[in-house]
Structure 1
């Protein structure tokens, strides 16, 4: 049996209260889930349900209080900071709404940066292919400030495509894009889930969520419902019911 790329068990996460005497606020409450190779999973839910916190805990960007997360076979809480960073460099790609491109680097240099940080050989052909995949072959020498928001997000996607990580974590990847560009970005993310690689995406976009193999609907830090290959209308209904019963 193929092992999941991500396995979370009884995941709990709290944040400090607003004042020193205020109790801690529970954000994740005993979440358990698996993400298998080749799978795309969307995480949706009402505002404040814990979507982004769950994504950050699964990817090792945010520590959790109790429970466990195994990422590519390694339990995250057992790793020191350097080992955790090395694990992410080897296995993980990130796509955020804010792009996170380095302003002083060209598009091509931004795409190559994760491989350089991981001390991997930078394949020029892989960068060329990634630029072609996002339709920006003629923008490789441009810096982020010379690109539109949609072009910057496509460069962020190209950065992930060139690295070919085992797992892509995407947090509202289409939140600041127009419809046409957002559709292109989602197509690329969907295509990147395959050949043993997986995508985990947080989104408010119903059409985006419905592209996934599974949709996890969060409510008050728990998995309220799981949908398999849903329509956008089914996703909306599940989110609405989660909000109404919160």
Structure 2
């Protein structure tokens, strides 16, 4: 059987409460999951259910309080900061709602940045292909401030496409996009899952969630239900049930 690209077991995470003497607030309450190579997984649920926190813990951006996460075969709790950063550079790509582009760099330079940080040769042809794939072949020399929000998000997607990472984490990637641009971004993320690569998306968008092979519905820091290749209507029904169940 193929080894999962992500294996998480009994993840717990708490955050400080408003008052110094009050108990910490539990956010994740013991989540166990696997993500297989080639799989796209969506994480949905009511606000405050722990979706983004789970994504950050799975990617190593946020440490869990307890439990374990194996990312590309490595136990991330056993890694120092430098080794974890190296692991992410080699295997992980991120797409966030805030784009995370460097304002002083052009679109082309932003896309090439991960390779430079990893001290790999920049594949200029690959960068240009990624720009073309997101419909920005004529915007490679523009800086983020010269691009619309939708164009900036497509540059962020192109950066991931050019990297060809084993795992893509996307946190609300269409949250600030119009319907047409959001649909294009979702199609690119769906296409990125395959050939042994996986995509994990946190989203409120029912259409986005329904593109996934599996949908995990969170409630109060636990996986409340799991759907396989659902319709948007089935995702909505599952989220509604998670909001109302006692």
TM-score, normalised by the number of residues in structure 1? 0.99
Cα distance in 1, alignment partners of residues 245 and 17 from structure 2: 24
Cα distance in 2, alignment partners of residues 82 and 136 from structure 1: 34
CA deviation digits over 1:61-117, x for unaligned, max 9? 000011100000000111000000000000000000000100000000000001111
CA deviation digits over 1:103-155, x for unaligned, max 9? 00000000000111111111011101101100100000000011111000000
Give the aligned partner of residue 6 of structure 2. Answer: 6
Aligned length: 246
Cα distance in 1, alignment partners of residues 202 and 84 from structure 2: 22
Task: Give the ranges of 4+ consecutive aligned residues of structure 1 lying more than 2 Å apart after TM superposition.
Answer: none
Cα shift at 1:215: 0.1
Residue 194 (structure 1) aligned with residue 155 (structure 2): no
Residue 141 (structure 1) aligned with residue 160 (structure 2): no
SS at match of 2:62: coil
Give the aligned partner of residue 224 of structure 2. Answer: 224
Trace 1:8-87 onto structure 2 (pairs within 5 A): 8-87=8-87
Cα distance in 2, alignment partners of residues 119 and 58 from structure 1: 25
Gaps of at least 5 residues in structure 2 are none
Cα distance in 2, alignment partners of residues 144 and 74 from structure 1: 35
Gaps of at least 5 residues in structure 1 are none
Give the aligned partner of residue 92 of structure 1. Answer: 92
Cα distance in 2, alignment partners of residues 120 and 57 from structure 1: 27
Residue 172 (structure 1) aligned with residue 172 (structure 2): yes
Cα shift at 1:7: 0.2
SS at match of 2:138: helix
CA deviation digits over 1:47-68, x for unaligned, max 9? 0000000000000000001110
Cα distance in 1, alignment partners of residues 242 and 107 from structure 2: 41
Cα distance in 2, alignment partners of residues 199 and 145 from structure 1: 28
Give the aligned partner of residue 121 of structure 1. Answer: 121
Cα shift at 1:244: 0.7
TM-score, normalised by the number of residues in structure 2? 0.99
Cα distance in 2, alignment partners of residues 64 and 29 from structure 1: 11
